[in-house]
Amino acid sequence: MVDYKFYCFNGKAKFIDVHIDREDNHKQGCFDLNFNLLPFGKSKNYKSIPANIEKPTNLLEMIELAEKLADKLPFVRVDFYSVNGISIFGEMTFYPADARKDFYPDEYNKIIGDYFKLPKLKNGQPITEYN
């Protein structure tokens, strides 16, 4: 089964972390929202997914659903499976890999990190009042 992990920042999906063959021959690759392979990955230990894997027929639906679930959140990863063109929700996580796994090559840690913007609080506003 293919696992599609949408990295969403401020309610917008920025890229998809795709995992295939987890049990037998685990491969991983990061894709843009048009399903083009990007030049970075999640771990040097994973084999890379080839650029020509099939784009899911329900990709636009999964992006739309991920963004609805991520709305008003500074960051969340929203996971889906595509089963016969049907979007199946997996989970939402705020700390993928406990926030301890780097992207590679290393320069993508800064590029992706710059997507993350914390909300501004008004001067003197307690954190508990943030909406």
Q: What is the pLDDT at residue 128? A: 67
Query: Rounded distance, CA 28 to CA 97, Å?
Result: 15
pLDDT one-digit tens code per residue, 9-35: 999 999 999 999 888 888 999 999 999
Query: Rounded distance, CA 64 to CA 43, Å?
Result: 27
Count H helices, E strands: the chain? 2, 6
Q: What is the pTM of this model?
A: 0.87
Query: Rounded distance, CA 98 to CA 77, Å?
Result: 12
Q: Where are the domains of the chain?
A: 3-129
